[in-house]
Amino acid sequence: MADASREADYDVLYRIMNTRMSVRRIRPDPIPEEYLEKILEAGRWAMSGANGQPWEYLVIKDAKKKKDLYDAFQDTNQEFCFWMEQMRPFELRHPAFQVKGDDLKDEWQKIRNSSGGQQRRPWHEAPVVIVVLGDGRRQWATVNAAFTFGRHASHFTDGLANTCTHMQLAIASLGLGSHWGTVHVQEPLKRVLGVPDLIDVYLIISVGYADIERKPGVRRELKEIVHHDTYDMSKYMSNEDIIDYLYKLRGKTMFRYHLKDSLLPGSGDGDKKA
């Protein structure tokens, strides 16, 4: 017989997972210090290969430091993404980089110098930015086969992904919003943060009160992704199927963010919601 209390725990966890979303408009209002500690505490209890715990967290509240990091990120990571996205058909580009114009350099500068209008706010304006760092040497705790720097499926990156997920769920459980920025080019960010060469800059998580309306999540149906005992080839997608899937996915996820009055500063109840 199922344990009712365990099912209740699962229901709470599922609600958090189901309603969590990436928030690109975060209010600058400060968050309670105890919330930040709870988020970091959740992160440190993540799973890792042989409990090597390769993560460290660099917490940034200083406005100038956040802005310096944001500028370095825009100048390298975002520019890299922009030019890579221009290689795709227009409709399949990431929404942030869907631009048309005769001079793409000018279009990039417009993106570089703007906050994206009403749909986003520069993440350095969030009250707290958590930079997740990784020390690959801690992977020595686990089997030698996992000691592969840079390998996308190594225990190192697995562990870092796990700690980030823990923190994202903790953030959502506290009624806060968050956004994560993937790091493609580490060196300029390391210079801003004073991070040693051997330490990786893995992910940037901005945290604060959401300034947008919550939107329903989009996920594939469970029946599409579960196989029993052996791979079900009827679910295998050809390259053409994948391209068609991407077109449909873009149509579902490219919604516009809208401000919600109840989430604006001074609106009482909204100050505690994400």
**Strands 199-208 and 177-182, sheet pairing:** antiparallel
CA distance 83 to 93: 10
> What is the percentage of the chain residues whose pLDDT exceeds 70?
86
How does pLDDT run across 63-89, given as a tens digit for each residue? 999 999 999 999 988 888 888 988 988
274 falls in which pLDDT band (50, 70, 90)?
very low
Token pair, residue 45, equals 């209890």
How does pLDDT run across 185-201, given as a tens digit for each residue? 999 999 999 999 999 99
Q: Which pLDDT does position 150 carry in this prediction?
A: 57
Q: Which pLDDT does position 257 carry in this prediction?
A: 33
End-to-end CA gap in the chain: 36
5 falls in which pLDDT band (50, 70, 90)?
confident
- Determine the average pLDDT of the residues in 114-133: 80
Three-state secondary structure string covering 105-131: HHHHHHHHHCCCHHHCCCHHHCCEEEE
Domain boundaries 22-213+221-265, corresponding CATH code: 3.40.109.10
Tokens 């295998």 found at: 236
> What is the percentage of the chain residues whose pLDDT exceeds 90?
56
Burial class of residue 40 (count of CB atoms within 10 Å of its CB; 0-12, 13-18, 19+): middle
How does pLDDT run across 18-35, given as a tens digit for each residue? 989 989 899 999 999 999
Q: Which pLDDT does position 114 carry in this prediction?
A: 64
Q: Which pLDDT does position 233 carry in this prediction?
A: 97
Among the residue ranges 27-36, 214-223, 249-258, the one predicted with the least confidence is 249-258
Side-chain-facing half-sphere of 106: CA atoms under 13 Å: 4
| Domain locations in the chain as residue ranges | 22-213+221-265
Among the residue ranges 35-49, 107-121, 122-136, the one predicted with the least confidence is 107-121
Question: Residue-wise over 219-237: b if at least 16 C-beta within 10 A, else e?
Answer: eeeeeeeeeeeeeeeeeee
CA distance 272 to 269: 6
